[in-house]
Structure 1
Amino acid sequence: MNIRNSYLTHLSRYIIGAAVLLFAAKQTATAQEKVMNMEEHDSKLYYFGLTFGANASAFKISNTNYFVQQDTFQVIQPKWGPGFHIGLMGSLRINKFIDLRFIPGVVFAEKGIRTVSRSGIVQDNKIESIYGQLPLQLKFKSDRIHNFRFYGLLGGRFDYDMASNARSRRSDEVLRIKPNDLSAEVGFGLEFIYPNFIFSPEIKISQGMMNNHFPDNTIPLSNAIEKINSRMITFSIQIQG
């Protein structure tokens, strides 16, 4: 009986000791999970980063009255095209929840226009652009949830198309596109905060506010189009320090 009691006493001590060790290990692991990375970053007045990613862009087309009367085109339809971009990012802290961002970058974009003639001939035309972009945005941030937060974006952007053919003298141009554009932007993103950097995927939608069409009455398609606005969907990856 004494041997049995001694065995039970030692077993109880082992069980209690193991339970204490497991509890302590769990508490330590939980504490490590809740370590706030880069806490000083939230109080920085400004910080910088790198952004890169992919985009899809298209035109919004408004036809002229001549389009109804003419007998050349049955359909004029915009098509989305792929692209990519890279840029630098500078952020200025306004308060705990709002940053002002400036992200100059270079964007390669492609837009398509499909035409169907009255005789049923389908033709796909591509218009390539190389934009120098100057976006200015307000970033509305949530509270940090440990090492994560989400945010929304609202802003405007100036674009200069370095591949614009508005002044081109070539006779085989499909359309002539003006180089300057202003766009409104809205979007959202996520921030994953690591010990040495912030990883941030982001999606934006932009709508051009200016008419990009440069009229040329020697181009049949140009006579059927009154107004062209740009549209773009952008997926970006940002690395911030």
Structure 2
Amino acid sequence: MKQRLIKILSFAVLLSSNLQAQTFNNLFRTKDRMDNLEDFDLKKFSYGFYLAANNFDYKMVLNPTFGMDGNQSLVESKSTYSFGAGLIGKMRLNEFLDLRIEPGLHFVQRDLTFNTFNHINDLFPGGIPLPDGTNSEVITELNDTYTKKVVKSTYIDIPVLLEVHGDRWYNSRPYAAAGINYLVNLQSNQTSGDDNLQNVFRTTTHNFGWSAEIGIQLYFSRFKLTPAIRGTFFTNNELVSDNATTPPYWTPAISTMQSRAFMLVLKFE
């Protein structure tokens, strides 16, 4: 009985050791490991789509007369989270470089708060002079219609990116990319005759910018997944000035206004 128990325990120890060795080899071995989609990156062209979680904000330079009260900024921008989606087209240039175009659609909302009214009324106690020589009526009873502007934007984003990547390490590959963007704002209101006096905030329709991105490409048996972080920065001034007959509570307080965005992107190819 004692000898049989010793044999059983010895067999259990050997079996456990064998299973542990096999598990270790499967997880950490480097010899003869199978790579997924080995020929995927050798294709001249490849396609896919992406989903993005966005955070858009405005970078503003304020007018020192209307937008600043000493060192205090009188216009505030609050970013909000949004989403986007798009397509991927990639062309292989060589072993380390790819050219990508990724047209997408981004739905964006930003909140602007104008604390300029009391300051500007103090600057023009007798009324605000207008181009035709008359004075405007000074707004004294403030409400959210005047002080808070909800700026909604829908951007068609067309970035062209040059991607440089390292060597593939089994089923992963790091990369970095940078390039230029052309963006069309479908909700810009640029051609509207109304302005902030009628609660219409106007921005430019056609915009330009640049993007930078880093990520890691993960290869699965049927597709490639790429989580990435991207920053997009507009280069043109998006602000469209209010009409000449509108008091200088709103756009005259801002000298330049440019969008900047940070995105968490998931790509599927």
Match of 1:215 in 2: 241
Structure 2 counterparts to residues 1-241 of structure 1, below 5 A? 22=19, 25-26=22-23, 29-30=26-27, 34-67=33-66, 75-117=74-116, 119=118, 123-171=147-195, 172-216=198-242, 217-219=244-246, 220=248, 221-240=250-269
Of 15-24 and 35-44, the range deviating more from structure 2? 15-24
User: Following TM superposition, by how much is the alpha carbon of 1:165 offset from its aligned partner in structure 2, in angstroms?
Assistant: 0.7
Separation in 2 of the partners of 1:69 and 1:23?
69
Q: Are 1:74 and 1:118, in contact at CA under 8 Å, matched by a contact in 2? A: no
Q: TM-score, normalised by structure 2?
A: 0.75
d(CA) in 2 for partners of 1:43, 1:84: 32
Residue 187 of structure 2 aligns to a residue whose secondary structure is: coil
CA–CA distance in 2 between the matches of 1:127 and 1:143? Answer: 44
Report the 3-state secondary structure (helix = DSSP H, G, I; strand = E; otherwise coil) of the residue aligned with 1:39. coil
1:68 is displaced (CA, Å) by 6.0
- The one-letter code matched in structure 1 to 2:102 is I
* Range 78-87 or range 156-165, more displaced: 78-87
TM-score (structure 1 length as normaliser): 0.83
For 1:45 and 1:116, how far apart are their aligned partners in 2? Answer: 55
> Which letter does structure 1 place at the counterpart of 2:225?
F
1:65 and 1:21 map into 2 onto residues whose CA distance is: 76
Q: Which has the higher strand share?
A: 1
1:195–1:67: structure 2 CA closer, same or farther, 3 Å change rule?
same
Structure 2: stretches of 5+ with no match in the other structure: 120-141
> How far apart, in 1, do the equivalents of 2:73 and 2:178 lie?
38
Residues 194, 200 of structure 2: 8 Å contact kept? no
Counterpart AA for 2:163: K
Counterparts of 2:153 and 2:204, CA distance in 1: 11
Shift of 1:23: 8.2
1:110-152 alpha-carbon deviations (Å, 9 max, x no partner): 1221222455978432101111111000111121111012111
Measured in 2, the distance between the counterparts of 1:84 and 1:212 equals: 21
Number of matched pairs: 235
Query: Equivalents in 1 of 2:165, 2:34: separation in Å?
Result: 20
Q: In 2 relative to 1, CA 15–189 (structure 1 residues): closer, same or farther, beyond 3 Å?
A: same
How far apart, in 2, do the equivalents of 1:133 and 1:66 lie? 35
SS across alignment from 1:67: coil
Shift of 1:74: 6.3
